[in-house]
Structure 1
Amino acid sequence: MTLQLTRRVFMASAGAFALFAASLAPFAASAQDKPVIRMSTPASDTDQRSVALASVFGPAISEFATYQPHYNASLIAQGSELEAIASGDLEMSIASAQELANFFPEFSIFATGYVHQSAEHQVAVFNDALMDPFKQKVEDELGVKLLSVMYLGKRHVNLRFPRAEKDVMTPADLNGVNLRMPGSDAWQFLGRAIGANPTPMAFTEIYT
């Protein structure tokens, strides 16, 4: 297989939305004259996305590039990956659509709770022509090219009550509950809309 690597690679993910992308700067070369693709993610090495990248993506590019993962935000702080890729300081990452929404507010629709009905729906949306202007804007204004999506799974409400068990059957059952949620405006709005008290929490602070 012949492939020219002329752009940096980025991958983003959040609950039900993930992206591959590339910046416009040239790759750094290793001693073997292979480009080094450093991947920085706040996820652990056992996260399903990390495992897939290490077991599938890494071997797939091994003939012409060196895949170098960095986990638990050990290389680039969570939330700073896009800037690092755009400036040429990073090649690849796992980050969320809500982080893209910090640059392009229209991306908040893809960070809205339960907007995708399934993994297949998510892929269909990303590959549809309606996404073309979104992708082009990110490439033109941020220098990052979105390549693909990856499904992480459904959102679940997990509650821990010290005094008694509590069933959550309707939004009213969440009234007054402190609920840890992603920090984007869309997710915080969803938390308030269902009656909870949403508390922003970074991915690196949760159990994986």
Structure 2
Amino acid sequence: MNITRRTFGTLATGAAAGLVAAPGILRAAPKIKLRYGTAFPPTHPGVTRIVEASKTIAARSEGAIDLQVYPGSQLGGESDMFAQVRGGALDLMSTSSVNQTIVPFAAINAVAFAFPTYDHVWKAMDGDLGDFVRKAFFEAGLFVFPKMLDNGYRNITTGSKPIVTPADLAGMKIRVPGNQLWVTLFQTLGAAPTPLNFGELYAALQTHIVDGQENPLALIQSSKLYEVQKHVSMTGHIWDGHHIFCNNRRWSAVPAEAQTIILEELSTAAVNERADIKALNEQAKIDIEAAGLTFHTVDKAPFRDVLAKAGFYTGWKEKFGAEAWGLLEKDVGTL
């Protein structure tokens, strides 16, 4: 199917805009059972809002649609679940860290220090840049829902010294997702990045396989990483979000009436999850400090200067391509 980015921007929501769900029709058809996998822990809003949506989907369809949610990497690590969705063995999953494997520029939202505020994030990811990425996944066989889940701005935690300057990262073994952009970022800053699935992280910190990690505050709290760390450095180096994926063939086999309900409810869940993350991050800082961790304010400018001088931005502009990079800079300014 040959579609433009502008066409794709309306493709995902077209059914919702043009159809009225007909539960009677759905009820007469075989029950639609869908499995949704995620690495987010059960208490994370990226799970609780999807579970809430699954209940609303069931109610709106009068039981015709059964969306089952499996949090905490129950169905495998993110790379495993992503492969399962690509192959059709799993219906839906959310992730950010492994999707670059089939769409190289899909990780463009994770360019270090690119998004100064959430206004910049959502202008880009709900707009032309997001549509550009979603269209590329569609052409690679994956339907991507129009609203991303917020995973938050990522900050560095450590078990020994805090990270307040680029020099503090020298030689540090830091866990990163299995994504080359993360690896390159921390290599450029002088660290020793160690890719690990999120489900392995707590044990790796506990046994000192890695010295530190980087994640949003809400995830640090919900995964209890504060139990095995001592410092939080507020680097905010990457904004991270999760796309919700479905195999194209599986999605096209879902009746249009059911697509309408699922699209609307998962989009609502994503928007609500964003508000949850904002509130949770504010409370997480209080709770994590109460658990004994020390927070450190970080001047981001020296980190960005190191990256710029080392050619990090020019290198990734070349890898992502001029069109994707131009859409990013349209919303965030020149990098």
* 1:183 and 2:183 correspond: no
Moved more, 139-148 or 30-39: 30-39
TM-score, structure 1 normalization: 0.74
For residue 198 of structure 1, the aligned residue among 190, 193, 196 is 193
| Distance (Å, rounded) in 1 between the aligned partners of 2:114 and 2:68 | 33
Q: 1:83 to 1:144 in 2, by over 3 A?
A: farther
Q: Could you tell me how far 1:199 is from its partner in structure 2? A: 1.1
| Distance (Å, rounded) in 2 between the aligned partners of 1:135 and 1:59 | 26
Instruction: Judge conservation of contact 2:169–2:191 (CA < 8 Å) in 1.
Output: yes
User: Which residue is 1:74 aligned to?
Assistant: 74
Q: 1:140 to 1:88 in 2, by over 3 A?
A: same
User: Which residue is 1:60 aligned to?
Assistant: 56
Q: 1:35 to 1:116 in 2, by over 3 A?
A: farther
| Distance (Å, rounded) in 2 between the aligned partners of 1:137 and 1:205 | 30
Moved more, 99-108 or 135-144: 135-144
Identity %: 22
Q: Which has the higher helix share?
A: 2
| Distance (Å, rounded) in 1 between the aligned partners of 2:183 and 2:46 | 25
* Number of positions where the alignment pairs a residue of Structure 1 with one of Structure 2: 178
Q: 1:177 to 1:76 in 2, by over 3 A?
A: closer
Q: 1:117 to 1:52 in 2, by over 3 A?
A: farther
1:66-107 CA-partner distances (Å, limit 9, x unpaired): 2201123223442133332233322211211x3221101111
| Distance (Å, rounded) in 2 between the aligned partners of 1:34 and 1:100 | 30
Q: Could you tell me how far 1:144 is from its partner in structure 2? A: 2.2
Q: Name structure 2 gaps, 5 residues minimum.
A: 1-18, 203-222, 224-335
User: Which residue is 1:144 aligned to?
Assistant: 143
Show the 5 A alignment for 1:21-170: 33-55=30-52, 57-62=53-58, 63-64=60-61, 65-96=65-96, 98-161=97-160, 166-170=161-165
| Distance (Å, rounded) in 2 between the aligned partners of 1:30 and 1:59 | 16
Q: Could you tell me how far 1:30 is from its partner in structure 2? A: 10
| Distance (Å, rounded) in 2 between the aligned partners of 1:110 and 1:79 | 19
- Which residue type is aligned with residue 205 of structure 1? E
Q: 1:205 to 1:42 in 2, by over 3 A?
A: same
| Distance (Å, rounded) in 1 between the aligned partners of 2:69 and 2:40 | 11
1:37-83 CA-partner distances (Å, limit 9, x unpaired): 2111122212221111112x123212222220112322344213333
Q: CA RMSD in A?
A: 2.6
Instruction: Judge conservation of contact 1:40–1:74 (CA < 8 Å) in 2.
Output: yes
Instruction: Judge conservation of contact 2:77–2:199 (CA < 8 Å) in 1.
Output: no
Give the structure with higher Rg (CA).
2
